[in-house]
Chains A and B, each alone.
Chain A
Amino acid sequence: MLNAILVLVSWFLWITLAVLFLFGIPILIVDSFVDLSWVANQTSMTVIWSFSIMFAIFVFATQVVIRQLRKIFLTLIEGDPFVPENAKRVRTIWMVLFGFEVLNMLFSSGILVAKQTFGDLFLGLEGELHINWVLWLAVIVLVVLAEIFNEGAKLRLEQKLTI
């Protein structure tokens, strides 16, 4: 059941990413020749593109996390989740979350700097730098869990090779 939900979410995200690229890339090309200010309304195309790229990275990061979760879940179904691969998967998950949040903070601070430098280019955009404490806490918890998992997997292997 959980696996099926994860598959659905995964597919939804792939479709979103596909739609983003299918419509986004032509707009980028057209934008070079035609004035698309009506699309942008009060926000510049630069802002739209910055957000699109961030969104694409977000979808990709979520995809990676969901894929890892699915693989962990499959080992759970098979009845042997304490394998070294799962420790690596949990490690991948926290690294992706960590990387994405750092990127997000860089993006937000980039907007702040750009807004101060260019002003008009970032009309209607609220650039604020805030620390997502819940996410950072989740990253710390996952780091600890990954290491525990790693030790557990080592013990499991040792137990498996004890005759």
Chain B
Amino acid sequence: MAIRVTLDRVLLERRMSLTELCDRVGVTMANLSILKTGKAKAIRFSTLEALCRELNCQPGELLQFEANIEERDAAE
């Protein structure tokens, strides 16, 4: 998928652990790990909203479009 989740970078910038984010957002550790590792197929607006609120960021800071990833996926 050409959409890359940059949650780890934002977490590092905010000096926040994944466990702390889990507690604040109310999403399980397993689900946040799926999101962080890029295995997620979709993200709910409510989850995105909660993440942006707790991390004090914009959705664009959490998601990134990378065309070359899409080309690589298509080649595979």
Whether a CB of chain A sits under 8 angstroms from the CB of B74 is no
Q: How large is the interface on B (under 10, 10 to 19, 20 to 34, 35 or more residues)?
A: 10 to 19
| Cβ < 8 Å to A, chain B residues 12-35 | 27, 31-32, 34-35
Whether a CB of chain B sits under 8 angstroms from the CB of A163 is yes
Q: A158-B41, A163-B35, A163-B42 are in contact. List 10 more A-B contacts (CB 8 A).
A: A157-B41, A161-B39, A161-B41, A162-B41, A162-B42, A162-B44, A163-B27, A163-B32, A163-B34, A163-B40
Report the minimal beta-carbon distance from A68 to chain B, rounded to whole angstroms.
28
What is the interface of chain A, defined by CB distance below 8 A to chain B?
157-158, 161-163
Main SS of chain A's interface residues?
Answer: mixed
Whether a CB of chain A sits under 8 angstroms from the CB of B43 is yes
Report the minimal beta-carbon distance from A142 to chain B, rounded to whole angstroms.
28
A158 to B41, CA, bound (A): 6
A96 to B42, CA, bound (A): 37
A163 to B43, CA, bound (A): 5
- Scan B38-68; emit 1 where CB is below 8 A from any A CB, else 0: 0111111001000000000000000000000
A162 to B32, CA, bound (A): 11
Jot down 7 A-B pairs with beta carbons below 8 A, ordered by A: A161-B39, A161-B40, A162-B41, A163-B40, A163-B42, A163-B44, A163-B47
Taking CB atoms, residues of chain B closer than 8 Å to A162 are 40-44
Report the minimal beta-carbon distance from B55 to chain A, rounded to whole angstroms.
15
Taking CB atoms, residues of chain A closer than 8 Å to B47 are 163
Taking CB atoms, residues of chain A closer than 8 Å to B27 are 163
Q: Give the residue name and chain of the A residue nearest to B35 (CB).
A: A163
A93 to B14, CA, bound (A): 54
Q: Give the residue name and chain of the A residue nearest to B31 (CB).
A: A163
A163 to B35, CA, bound (A): 7
Q: Give the residue name and chain of the B residue nearest to A162 (CB).
A: B42
Taking CB atoms, residues of chain B closer than 8 Å to A157 are 41
Report the minimal beta-carbon distance from B3 to chain A, rounded to whole angstroms.
13
